[in-house]
Structure 1
Amino acid sequence: MKHNKVFHTTRLRLAGLYAGTMGFILTLCAVGFYEAMAYSHVSELNHRIESVAGTLHDGLEASLQQPGKLEPIVQKFIPSLCIAGTTCAYKSTAAHYLGVFQEHGYYIRFVTLPGQLLASAGEATTDLPIRVETDPWQILEAPDGTRYQQLSLLLKTANQDAWGYMQVGRSLSDIDGHMVWVRLILLIGLPTAMILVVVASWWLAGQAMLPVYRSYRQMQQFTADAAHELRTPLATIQANLESTLIPDATDADAWDTLRTVERQSGRLSRLVHDLLVLSCVDLQGLPAKQESCHLNDLVSDLVEEFSALAIASNISLTANIQVTTPINVLGSEEQLYRLVANLITNAIQYTPAGGKVTVYLQRKDHHALIQVQDTGIGIAPKEQTRIFDRFYRVNTDRSRHTGGAGLGLAIAKAIVQAHQGTIQVQSEPNQGSVFSIYLPLKSNQK
């Protein structure tokens, strides 16, 4: 297939389509996974900040009296609160009952309405910018590059006057560090996965194209063999006509030519008929008629019909019907007749003079078994898998003595498959061959 430019290009395009589609899907999945992880971390953090801020907000608002002034009650809520402008030692035990402040990275700040820092607690750096905005959620960035997620809530006095802002936040350093690793893994993993996808796409495209390529090759072979088989009788007819259409040709020459034309015309007719049958198989399969076929009579009639051909070839042809009751199958009697006839014809043609051909009929479980056994030249094991191919013959000689165009067994196999049966061959060189046909019995005979 790689030597055929059309199929190679098609495989390349198909592999590119597979890889492009899978790459797009993988990229979407990677971006979605990253965004989902980031959203999950931030959502959990926001929930915890909201919980702490809400608890403090509800507890402090009732005790605030004057805007911008911290009441003593605030330090009871937050013992480690550090007033702006004073030196305070950091205590990690701020607000013991708010267990979240015992964790790394959290802070709380109180800011006046104009944006002046009143007090802070936790791990907020002194150089963290103060932003008072209408949006309660902000992301702040310290000079060292550390990011903070912050929630600002407006506090009111007991008289419902605006007091200032309470800001609760946490460092995003651990989340950012974790997401850096996730990005690194995705940046390494995604190209690696794409390489594997490209290799797999190329292989899958080859597997997908293989049946098409085989069909294409079979069609090429079929066309070449059909042209060869048609050319031979046509060339014979042309040569004989040219030898006859001369001024000194006699009536005897003309009659010889006509007889040759008649033989070659019959050969062409049979070949065209076989080709039409196989073409029908390719398009829609052989339509097997659902009628009762009596195999006992069919085998007997065939042996009787071919007895003259067997006698002329000095071959013994006999029938061995090993059942006493009729065996019936559903199908087309005409097709089954041709099926067994093809096998008997082959057996006679490839059996030397003095040989023997026997046609057996028996019942095997729920199937009728027809066997055509000969004592002919046999078939080599490596050839047995190909004898049912079209135009294939073990003997490459294409003379009239060796038979037709090599379509008999191909048609036989098509007929068997149309009747839901199977055909098998057992053979050894110079020991003869046995062709076995299994056909399902009618339901009332099973």
Structure 2
Amino acid sequence: MNQNKLFRLTRVRLALYYAIVMGLILSLCAFSFYQAVFHAHVVALDSEIESVAGTLHDSIELKLQEPGRLEPFASKLFPNIDNCGSQSVNCTQQQSNSQRHILGITTKNSYYIRFFDTSGRLIANAGSYPDGLPEIFNQKTWQFLKDAKGKDYHQITLSLHTHDNQDWGYMQVGRSLEEFNHYLDSVKVILVLGLLVAMAMIAGASWWLSGLAMQPIYQSYRQIQQFTADAAHELRTPLAATGATVESALLMPEIDLQETRDILQTIQRQNQRLTALVGDLLMLARLDRQSQKLQWEICCLNDIVDDLVEEFEAMAIAAGIKLKSSIQLNEPVNIVGNSDQLYRLVANLIVNAIQYTPSGGITVFLERSEHYAVIKVQDTGIGISKHELTRIFDRFYRVSSDRSRQTGGSGLGLAIVQAITQAHHGIIDVQSELGKGSTFTIQLPFHIHTLNGVRSNYLLKMFSHPTHK
């Protein structure tokens, strides 16, 4: 398949389209996953900051006396507080004391606290206060900030009131996002690397799947090529014979009546061969397209088998073999089908058996099961090898080309048998052994689902009486 330029390019395009589509789908899934992780961690981070800020807010607010004045208890509550412009304490960094009551959250490296008065002036800060953080007060509840080093912080702003419900100022509790960003960066790296590995696997899988998907198409293409070559070869033989006959006649200076008759008979034989071949090809084409509207009717298989055995008995005797039928049924076997095609089906099987049976005999069996009428054509011929059993229904295929050409076969007989069987929703099976003969078994269902309307009811009523012919 890869040696054919058309199929190779088609396979490349198909694999590329598949890889692109799968890549887009995976990229969208990866982006959605990242957004879900980001949102989940932002929600968890907000909840954590809000919990810490709420605890500090409740611990401080009840002890505030004057607006804008940070009470001395703050130095005990926040041992590392830095008072800037406070009325009671200079802007000095207080050292932590292990004996003082502290809120452990302020000793962590990721949190800081800022206090502003009602005018927005920074009063004090505590915790791990970063350098270069903007000191301009912003009353927004949630904010994302950057320090002088470009590190990200997330903070919440809460209003504070004195014990007599006067506005005291504001408290901001913030948290470093360094750990959060490191986690997100790790997720990004994992997703990108995973996407690259997945794309490499998808590229290989898409190439394999495209080849697998195109295999039946390529097989059909090869069959069409082979069919075209075989059809051209079969048509060329009678055409060449006819052309040679006409050419030789034209080279004769004089042609008497007997020679003319011989020439015309030769042309007629080749014309009949061409007509039969074209007719077979046309029938196969119509059956393939299912464009041929079959005339469904009640068909008595007993009559068809008896008539064909009687018809081909002389042909079998001429070939030196015995042809007989075996119908051990008390009642006729009637099915709904097309009598002309069923006649052609059984006839092709008998002719095929005669052509490939040099000695011995042929028996045509007619049986019935619960749901099927069964026709068997058993011969004692040359048999078919196992590797050829899968190909005998191919068009123009011959088990023995020399023998079939001597008997005038075109290699379409069994292909027509298979097509007619499929048109009647039947099943065909072959059992064969080299040197011992072959058995072709056709199972035709009693119920055909393509019937409808009044005609269907009429036929089914007729079919309910097995003695009707």
Superposed CA offset, 1:16-41 (max 9, x none): 11111111111121122112211210
Is 1:346 aligned with 2:323? Answer: no
Q: 2:191: which partner in 1? A: 186
| Aligned counterparts of 1:122 and 1:318: Cα–Cα separation in 2 | 109
Counterpart amino acid of 1:28? L
Distance 1:88 1:58, change over 3 A: closer
Counterparts in 2 of 1:44-443, with a 5 A limit? Answer: 44-54=44-54, 57=57, 66-71=66-71, 78=77, 80=79, 82-84=81-83, 85-90=91-96, 105-112=110-117, 116-125=121-130, 128-143=133-148, 146-155=151-160, 163-245=168-250, 246-284=252-290, 287-352=293-358, 354-397=359-402, 400-442=405-447
Alpha-carbon deviation of 1:111? 2.4
Alpha-carbon deviation of 1:364? 3.1
Counterpart amino acid of 1:31? F
Contact 1:90 1:122 in 2 (8 A): no
Superposed CA offset, 1:326-382 (max 9, x none): 212221111111111000000011111x42111011123422211101111111111
Is 1:22 aligned with 2:32? Answer: no
Q: 1:3: which partner in 2? A: 3
Secondary structure at 2:401 match in 1: coil
| Identical counterparts, % of pairs | 52
| Aligned counterparts of 2:80 and 2:333: Cα–Cα separation in 1 | 104
Superposed CA offset, 1:395-445 (max 9, x none): 122764233211110110011111111111111111111111111234859
More displaced 10-residue stretch of structure 1: 310-319 or 173-182: 173-182
| Aligned counterparts of 2:210 and 2:465: Cα–Cα separation in 1 | 48
| Aligned counterparts of 1:226 and 1:103: Cα–Cα separation in 2 | 89
Gaps of 5+ in 1: none
Alpha-carbon deviation of 1:91? 7.5
Secondary structure at 2:402 match in 1: coil
Alpha-carbon deviation of 1:54? 4.9
| Aligned counterparts of 2:404 and 2:257: Cα–Cα separation in 1 | 28
Secondary structure at 1:397 match in 2: helix
Alpha-carbon deviation of 1:187? 2.2
Counterpart amino acid of 1:234? L
Contact 2:356 2:381 in 1 (8 A): yes
| Aligned counterparts of 1:364 and 1:101: Cα–Cα separation in 2 | 90
Contact 2:14 2:210 in 1 (8 A): yes
Alpha-carbon deviation of 1:131? 4.2
Alpha-carbon deviation of 1:205? 1.2
Secondary structure at 1:376 match in 2: coil
| Aligned counterparts of 2:193 and 2:180: Cα–Cα separation in 1 | 20
Alpha-carbon deviation of 1:186? 1.5
Contact 1:424 1:435 in 2 (8 A): yes
| Aligned counterparts of 1:402 and 1:286: Cα–Cα separation in 2 | 30
Secondary structure at 1:241 match in 2: helix
Alpha-carbon deviation of 1:203? 1.1
| Aligned counterparts of 1:102 and 1:288: Cα–Cα separation in 2 | 92
Distance 1:328 1:74, change over 3 A: farther
| Aligned counterparts of 2:168 and 2:236: Cα–Cα separation in 1 | 107
Contact 1:349 1:403 in 2 (8 A): no
Secondary structure at 1:232 match in 2: helix
- Using structure 1 for the length normalisation, give the TM-score: 0.89
Contact 1:315 1:356 in 2 (8 A): yes
Alpha-carbon deviation of 1:270? 0.9
- Using structure 2 for the length normalisation, give the TM-score: 0.85
More displaced 10-residue stretch of structure 1: 80-89 or 355-364: 80-89
Alpha-carbon deviation of 1:202? 0.8
Superposition CA RMSD, Å: 2.9
**How many positions carry a matched residue from both structures?**
442
